[in-house]
Amino acid sequence: MRTTGIIAAAAGLALAAGVAAPALAVEEGKAELSVLHGIPDLTVDVYVNGELTLDDFAPSDLAGPLTLDPGTYSVAITASDAADDSSPVLGPIDLPLEADMSYTAVAHLTAEGDPTASLFTNDLAPTAAGEGRLTVRHTAAAPAVDILAGDAVLFSNLANPDEVMGDVPADTYSAAVAATGTTDPVVGPADVMIEDGVNTIVYAWGSLEDGNLALAVQTVTVGSDAPGGVPTGTGGLLGEQESSTLPLAAAGLALLVAMGIGGAAVARNRR
């Protein structure tokens, strides 16, 4: 197996189960990049600026975070036995990375099942004391869903390749998920735990039609403010809900991923 200095630095951080240990704070003046392989049945090599960086990268593998200088990196994904990056199966794709930021690049399927890639920015803002952050990213070939609290729709028509996030009190909550346009739960109600001072990022990947939907979980330690501090706020539509609905929204999002059909209320422009 071929390796380079970059992948050697990431050794031990690529987890076949798709679950990463909490990340450390970004080194000042640097950027951090994690890479998730979410295309089923395709083992690949990943080249960064023409150099082999991840060799024999398998579906569900999550590598990183790699500490990099800020700048734009050209990433190409090739067959695992390719001699170089001259004939990529995906890319090359330019990833612009800024200093003091954390990113995750995901190779995944579109909702229609075509290979693509998305660059997500991981929210590093500390949570309020006693709160955690839930980020859900839909990177699966699967339809949209609604998130329910009782019969009320908190999020509707949540689709690939978007994300939603929110800060909620660290605790265990209950919610349900239904097919878009319905109120009959297909999953739940069920309990979901949110951890203090941690951004838990959950990815749905794979294909509903092919029956290989799966999960990947990345956790980033963001810390929390001292008691009595000013909350850092929330992202997406969660920030617009009444405080009593936030736990239900967070639980519903986690259940959405447990179904293997992700979704989002906050769209980002993909680069």
Give the model confidence (pLDDT) of 108-121 as tens digits: 999 999 999 999 99
Query: The tokens of 56 are what?
Result: 């024999």
Return the pLDDT at 194: 77
Average pLDDT over residues 146-154: 62
CB environment 119-136: b (16+ within 10 A), e (fewer): bbebbbebbbbebbbbbb
**Total count of domains within the chain:** 2
Domain final residue, candidates 122, 147, 172: 122
Rounded CA separation 163/135 (Å)? 7
Residue 125 has pLDDT above 90, yes or no: yes
The pair of structure tokens assigned to 228 is: 């009595």
Q: 246 with 171, same domain?
A: yes
Q: At which of 122, 155, 190 does a domain end? A: 122
- Higher-confidence residue of 256 and 115: namely 115
Of 70, 93, 122, at which residue does a domain stop?
Answer: 122
- Output the pLDDT for position 147: 60
Own/partner long-range contacts of 190-193 (Cβ < 8 Å, ≥24 apart): 190/251, 190/255, 190/258, 191/251, 192/250, 192/251, 192/254, 192/255
pLDDT of residue 1 exceeding 60: no
Q: Are residues 118 and 184 in the same domain?
A: no
Residues 216 and 243 in one domain: yes
Whichever domain contains 116, its CATH number is 2.60.40
Same domain, 162 and 48: no
* Lowest-confidence pick of 167-171, 220-224, 227-231, 258-262: 258-262
pLDDT digits (tens, 9 = 90+) for 2-54: 333 222 223 223 332 334 444 456 889 999 999 999 999 999 999 999 999 99
pLDDT of residue 38: 95
pTM: 0.71
In 3D space, the residue among 219, 237, 238, 257 whose CA is nearest the CA of residue 136 turns out to be: 257
Q: Do 72 and 137 have their domain in common?
A: no
> Is 106 found in the same domain as 27?
yes
| Domain that includes residue 84, residue range | 5-122
